[in-house]
Structure 1
Amino acid sequence: MNQTTAQETVDVFGPDSMLRRLVNEARWGLAVTRATVLEAAHPQIGTALINNSTFVTHPWRRLRNTLASTQRMIDPDRHVRSREAARLNRLHARISGTDPQDRHYDAMDAEARAWVIATLFESAVTMYRLSGESLAAPAVERLYTEFRTLLALLEGGDSDQLPATAQEFWPYYDDMVNHHLENTEAVRVILYRLFADVPAPPLLRGHPAVWAAGRAVAGPVAAAITIASLPESFCRRVALPDLPGARALMHGAYLTTGLATRLLPNGWMNVGSFMSLLDPDRTGGSGPWENIRRKAGQAAAMLRLITPAPDEVDQVTRSADRFFAEVLDQTGDGHIAWPDLAAMAREIATRLDLDEQDEDRLYKAYAGWWRELQTNLDTDGDGRVTRQEYAASAASLPSSGLVKIADVLFDVTDVDDDETIDAREYQTLFRTAFHRDLTGGGDSYSRSAFVRQFLFFMSGQRHSVAYDSLLS
């Protein structure tokens, strides 16, 4: 067994780490998108994504959480890395089941987890090559060592699921692509649904016409660029189209991002700047892209003046049907099942970086609410709640399960145990929207006030900007 010692881990992810520098570059998004398609083509991973992930309905939330998790995994502090690895393992341990062909999948499967790391490494090397920066052999080997160390952190020191050297990696990678990947539902969803239907980022949620117009062009272009960047043998294997001009478009995109990374001033092409562009509330509206963001807002305002206004939406209440779609159906498959409620618990646990004990309390509270929903709403006994079943009985739902969740949520948010959630604790949970959605004029919440607001939102009785930012 190949063991990675603590000292080796610290050295690999030290100040000169290639991986740390890479994940802080905005162009890393091209590599991650490409890798995600290859991951989704693995039968186990593809089924797990479809059955449990919120990557289609909440892609920006998934992007933010993935970025935060990756940065923790390569943090200079060994304790931060170990804590994040343990959190990811607890998360993955809760994901298992069977696919439509009755094949078992398990998010803790060592071979599948190694494939995730493999796709990220290969996509990183491809990104450099397509960006005009082909890595020399020693640099490739060094980067590969860092990715293997990442796998070892997840696997308790064992990275033997990946070959020992970069030179040995390529035959393994070719064998996986040529003999083990499939045209899964997850691949089709990413390429033909996610790019076409991706919801607006926080910056443009108030400008639906602008986003719809931009997405109509950007969606097909993004899909074409991604497909053209994939291995030709994989494209043939899963019958992906070879679109005219797509390869030239793909090469142009990679070369442009590569040149921008090398030539623009420091800070312009890092991940933090682009995240602030997509979600200015996270940074207070500062950064090198702030002027562009303001111009985009002005353009959106002008467009609203010359386009018909949409029907007014009631911002105080939601219909049961709309609340079902926007909040409860986290995976976007048209019904409520345990993965939807688990996704809520997972998002809260990730935001608050809960330890194992508090995380278990939160999941158990959500499991209790799920049993309550099944008992009261699952009229045909099929183990899930349809939109029609929810709408028919939502008004008469008991609230004991929700009260338990609210109590646990209060406890884990109230980190100083003073029985009050202050402004800092509240903002840790909600990230944005703190002062925009508080009632009563105070900067703190008692347990009763916090529980009441949670129940109002989760029962669909009242709109909440804060809880929308967390769950919808």
Structure 2
Amino acid sequence: MTDAGLFGPDSVTWRVHREPIVAVGGLRSLYLQALLPRAVAGVEQNSRYRKDPWGRFQHTATYVATVIYGTTEQAERAGRRVRAMHARMTATDPRTGERFRIDDPHLLRWVHVTEVESFLAAALRGGLRLSGAQIDAYYAEQTRAAALVGLDPATVPDSAAAVADYYERMRPELELTVDSAATGIFLTLPPLPYALGLTPVRGAALGLSALAIGLLPAWARRLYGLPGLPATDLITSANALVLGRMLSAIPIDWISPMRRDAVRRLAA
């Protein structure tokens, strides 16, 4: 029998990730993740993302695509690699000097929730229409992805209401540190390969960063010290809708070869 993987073509997950604008959601999630001091310290002290940001982006995109479109065995193998890598890593809290593990469930949960909530937020603002029940189903499906990185699915928010409650509980822990400010600047103005920083590509990249920031919750923008202009959400929604419609015109097989391969595998 053909293995449809963790989700399959009838899942809400496949429907959400068919929208190319979820890539902007991935960028949005990084801005959110940087607001948890230990999370951003763990990245700063263990990752080479500043030396190879586009390589890191490609690795992350490949992992997400494997979890969504790969076979169950491929997804579980990718999860084992991530768990093994995290198990070897520790970092020091710059505020307290305390040493902590990167695979601390508290940190893993923050990364997971901000990621899936950001994917969904970008897709919805980009024009995808889902009912409340379908939104809840997406979060429930994504607890399977959370299990791959070592989280107990029972401890992961599995509905829109649960995610909103989770953010409310987490907000007292969030702050703009030196590391998070540096990360935010880097995400907004990353180095571009092949001298593209001297071309109009820089303007396009800056526009995507601005859109990702605009998609952040208002409380997150305030933590970054950004003005809470009344029109910010309206302008962001309009821009996201235009970009979402433009990107949806591109054949999905061009954007996601792994999805194409999964469709062919299931149709064989």
Instruction: Give the TM-score category using the shorter length.
Output: 0.7 to 0.9
SS of 1:74's equivalent? helix
SS of 2:225's equivalent? coil
Gaps of 5+ in 1: 1-8, 274-472
Deviation at 1:190, TM superposition (A): 3.4
Match in the other structure for 1:151: 146
State how far apart, in whole Å, the 1-side matches of 2:200 and 2:71 are.
41
Deviation at 1:168, TM superposition (A): 2.6
Given candidates 217, 224, 245, the residue that maps to 1:259 is 245
Match in the other structure for 1:174: 168
2:135 matches 1:140: yes
State how far apart, in whole Å, the 2-side matches of 1:23 and 1:10 are.
16
2:208 matches 1:196: no
Deviation at 1:34, TM superposition (A): 0.4
Identity in percent:
24
Match in the other structure for 1:445: none
Q: TM-score, normalised by structure 2?
A: 0.82
Deviation at 1:10, TM superposition (A): 6.1
Q: TM-score, normalised by structure 1?
A: 0.49
2:76 matches 1:82: yes
Deviation at 1:40, TM superposition (A): 1.5
Given candidates 214, 225, 230, the residue that maps to 1:239 is 225
Match in the other structure for 1:296: none
State how far apart, in whole Å, the 2-side matches of 1:269 and 1:249 are.
29
Q: Describe the shift of the 1:105–1:271 C-alpha distance in structure 2 as closer, same or farther (beyond 3 A).
A: farther
Given candidates 113, 117, 122, the residue that maps to 1:118 is 113
Q: Describe the shift of the 1:26–1:141 C-alpha distance in structure 2 as closer, same or farther (beyond 3 A).
A: same
Match in the other structure for 1:270: 255
Q: Is contact 1:228–1:242 with CA below 8 Å preserved after alignment?
A: no
Deviation at 1:183, TM superposition (A): 0.9
Deviation at 1:212, TM superposition (A): 1.5
Higher relative contact order (CA closer than 8 Å, sequence separation 6+): 2
SS of 2:188's equivalent? helix
Given candidates 33, 36, 40, the residue that maps to 2:34 is 40
Question: Match of 1:125, as an amino acid?
Answer: L
Match in the other structure for 2:59: 65
- 182-191 or 44-53: bigger deviation: 182-191
State how far apart, in whole Å, the 2-side matches of 1:90 and 1:70 are.
17
Match in the other structure for 1:446: none
Q: Describe the shift of the 1:127–1:67 C-alpha distance in structure 2 as closer, same or farther (beyond 3 A).
A: same
Match in the other structure for 1:228: 214
Q: Describe the shift of the 1:260–1:216 C-alpha distance in structure 2 as closer, same or farther (beyond 3 A).
A: closer
Match in the other structure for 1:109: 104
CA RMSD of aligned residues (A): 2.8
Deviation at 1:62, TM superposition (A): 0.9
State how far apart, in whole Å, the 2-side matches of 1:185 and 1:105 are.
19
List per-residue Cα deviations over 1:64-110 (Å, max 9, x = no partner).
Answer: 11111112223442221221111000111122121322133321011
SS of 1:105's equivalent? strand
Deviation at 1:172, TM superposition (A): 1.4
Question: Match of 2:157, as an amino acid?
Answer: P
5 Å-filtered alignment, 1:393-432, equals none
Match in the other structure for 1:54: 48
Deviation at 1:259, TM superposition (A): 1.3
Deviation at 1:241, TM superposition (A): 4.1
Aligned length: 255
Deviation at 1:140, TM superposition (A): 0.6
Question: Match of 2:176, as an amino acid?
Answer: N
Question: Match of 1:45, as an amino acid?
Answer: A
Match in the other structure for 1:383: none
State how far apart, in whole Å, the 1-side matches of 2:15 and 2:252 are.
12
SS of 2:91's equivalent? strand
Q: Is contact 1:47–1:99 with CA below 8 Å preserved after alignment?
A: yes
State how far apart, in whole Å, the 2-side matches of 1:233 and 1:190 are.
18
State how far apart, in whole Å, the 2-side matches of 1:249 and 1:222 are.
14
Question: Match of 1:221, as an amino acid?
Answer: G
Match in the other structure for 1:98: 92
Match in the other structure for 2:236: 250
Match in the other structure for 1:337: none
Deviation at 1:253, TM superposition (A): 3.0
Deviation at 1:224, TM superposition (A): 2.7
Match in the other structure for 1:401: none
Deviation at 1:242, TM superposition (A): 4.6
Given candidates 109, 114, 126, the residue that maps to 1:131 is 126
State how far apart, in whole Å, the 2-side matches of 1:89 and 1:175 are.
26
5 Å-filtered alignment, 1:382-397, equals none
SS of 2:155's equivalent? coil
